[in-house]
Amino acid sequence: MRWGDFRRSENVEDATGGGRGGFPVGGAKLGGGAIVLIIVASLLFGVDPMEMLGMLDDGPAPQSAPAPGYGPQHAPPAATNPAAAAKDPTKDFVSAVLGDTEDVWHEVFKAMGTQYQEPKLRLFDGAVQSACGRAAASVGPFYCAADDRVYLDTAFFDDLSRRFGAPGDFAQAYVIAHEIGHHVQNQLGVMREVDRKMQRLDARGRNALSVRLELQADCFAGVWGHFAKRRNMLDPGDLEEGFRAAQAVGDDRIQKQTQGYVVPDAFTHGSADQRMRWFRVGLDTGDPRHCDTFAAQRP
């Protein structure tokens, strides 16, 4: 991917300096069902539930605060340091991809007759404090609607490549674009509506709704990829990297890897095939109107 030609975003915050770790969940927590989602995710991915629940020591979650399972407490923004990012290839890459998603979504929102509000992206290692609560790197990249920020552990890309067999710069860009997809959902009011509906559902129903939310974020990631491809920013093999990454973080793949068997009713992000298929829809169309996973009879 020719990410060196992308505009660098000024919205990257560097909060690195702690421990290491990482696990790709890449999701959005929804107000009322937070604790249930934490327990499901922790059991599903082999993480100690008490470790994750211990992050909820700051009180109840804000009503529309996404990212799988944190409470409140707003952390002051870390200073952006473009010079430091330029010296660190990972930070430079993240800044470049974020900048390109900003350019694409500004144009898409303009075509819809509205204005795109850029999110912040905070890099951290080990653990981080967000407006949705304190989170360890084990929960993976996440988006918090309460402070309009994407949170990304700097060790995550190594996990994506080595542990999940999805190397490559476009695979990494897919992860960033997916989390930005949650920000797009937040701006469009999708997350608030899903949060409202989840209050009336049991655990199985919440999981099913969460899958549709995550698959739409995959489709929105594909919308960004569509325009990158149209501008000849992709190299041969890049699309395969993206599909491989989407498959690698499918619930069935992760369940099989961590517990040896698959439980579809416990899916919260979608199967490997579902994630790849909706990512492809966005890539092929470049139109967010085709990303209505909630209207699809079988997403």
Side chain identity at 219, as an amino acid letter? C
Residue 80 has which token pair? Answer: 């952006």
Rounded mean pLDDT, 84-94: 78
Residue 68 CA to residue 91 CA, distance in Å, equals: 24
Residue of 287, 285, 253 whose CA lies nearest to 270: 253
> Helices then strands (H, E): number in the chain?
11, 6
pLDDT at residue 145 tops 70: yes
Please work out, in degrees rounded to the nearest 5, the angle formed at the alpha carbon of residue 167 by the alpha carbons of 84 and 94. Answer: 25
Rounded mean pLDDT, 187-200: 95
139 SS3 class: helix
* 28 band by pLDDT with thresholds 50, 70 and 90: low
Rounded mean pLDDT, 49-68: 38
pLDDT at residue 70 tops 60: no
Which has the higher per-residue pLDDT, 258 or 46?
Answer: 258
At residue 160, the pLDDT reads: 87
Residue 242 CA to residue 93 CA, distance in Å, equals: 16
The percent of residues in the chain predicted with pLDDT above 90, rounded, is 60
pLDDT digit string (tens) for 150-183?
Answer: 999 988 888 888 888 888 999 999 999 999 999 9
At residue 166, the pLDDT reads: 87
Q: Residue for token digits 């470790």?
A: 51
Helix or strand (DSSP H, E) at 128? strand 127-130
CB atoms within 10 A of CB 231: 14
Q: Residue for token digits 């922790």?
A: 42
pLDDT at residue 36 tops 90: no
At residue 86, the pLDDT reads: 53
Q: Across the chain, what does the average pLDDT equal? A: 81
pLDDT digit string (tens) for 199-211?
Answer: 999 999 999 999 9
The percent of residues in the chain predicted with pLDDT above 70, rounded, is 77
Rounded mean pLDDT, 109-127: 95
Contact 215, 270 (CB under 8 A): yes
Residue of 235, 215, 69 whose CA lies nearest to 139: 69
At residue 49, the pLDDT reads: 41
Residue of 151, 173, 157, 159 whose CA lies nearest to 243: 173
Which has the higher per-residue pLDDT, 95 or 22?
Answer: 95
**Burial state string for 63-93 with b = 16 or more CB within 10 A and e = fewer than 16:** ebbbbbbbbbbebeebebeeeebeebebbbb
Give the range among 9-23, 184-198, 200-214 with minimum mean pLDDT. Answer: 9-23
Contact 194, 37 (CB under 8 A): no
